[in-house]
Amino acid sequence: MIDRAEFEDLVRGALREDAPLGDPFGAAFRQEAQGVFLAGGAGVFCGGPVAAEVLRQVDPAVSLDFVEDGSRIRAGDRLGGARGPAGALLLGERVALNFLQRLSGIATATARYVEKVAPFGTSILDTRKTTPLHRTLEKYAVRVGGGVNHRFSLSDGILIKENGIRAAGGIPEAVAVARRCAPHLSRVEVEAETLEEAEVAVRAGADAVLLDNMPPEMVAEAVRKFGGSVFLEASGGIRLENVEAYARTGVHAVSIGALTHSAAALDISFELLR
């Protein structure tokens, strides 16, 4: 679940963006109406509470119901219903659908990756490659799809990437700085592009190593050498077509930026009933 406090301001802003001065056409229709949300394709539903908040803010008199987030859906399925003043439904439908389509698309994409790696016990992680200000919702959608959230922000943990290593003057120096700066419960992860860099990171005391843009064969070698001593995460160039090959290596997790920055929206529509 996700708490309403985490998205009500975002919804308010989205409504202000879409209808800053209201809906001059829709305002003419004050009669009671009802409509249904319908799936146009198969996937994982996500965003019901957010869509409900959209219509609640438009008019608290609107009543809604949605299937549970995480539900597997097929084309033609009824996903929810809304009843209230026709003008309110017309005003809120696009914003509600924008959230539903986006979040359901992320949950669906995540679920496809999770299904591929499930037999091997590998976790599917998201990244910080999210839409600005939408990170809470997009990472929620990843969880709904069965994925696991990586750190939420720079404040949540230390992942030393290429530029950080350059700023520090090398991997050992970067890890030493991280140990001095990080809260004692924070894990320090280092990005490595080669097995040699991974070994340097492990010897420097990293808790985790991100194996960046390594082919599955190299990841398998890293797992053999270091998998028993540090957490290993593969990332870069990983797609639905090759994620199983990475999972077969025994790597602990695979992180995929495309879950949030490139997931296709799921086709969902809203129709008023006659």
Residues serving a catalytic function are: 94, 129, 161, 191, 212
Whose tokens are 């809304």? That residue is: 82
CA distance 48 to 103: 9
Q: Tell me the one-letter amino acid at 237.
A: G
Rounded to 5°, angle at Cα 124 from 3 and 44: 55
Measured in degrees and rounded to the nearest 5, phi and psi for residue 246 equal -70, -40
Query: Can you tell me the distance from the alpha carbon of 196 to that of 4, in angstroms, rounded to the nearest whole number?
Result: 47
CA gap 84, 100 in Å, rounded: 20
| CA–CA gap between residue 50 and residue 138 (Å, rounded) | 12
Matching residue, tokens 């539900």: 71
Residue 59 tokens read as 């008019």
User: Crossing angle for the helix pair 86-117 and 8-18, nearest 10 degrees?
Assistant: 120
Closest residue by Cα to residue 45 from 271, 274, 266: 266
Mapping DSSP to helix (H, G, I), strand (E, B) and coil, where does residue 39 land? strand
What DSSP string describes 168-200? Answer: HTSHHHHHHHHHHHS-TT--EEEEESSHHHHHH
Residue corresponding to tokens 């229709």: 29
- CA gap 97, 267 in Å, rounded: 9
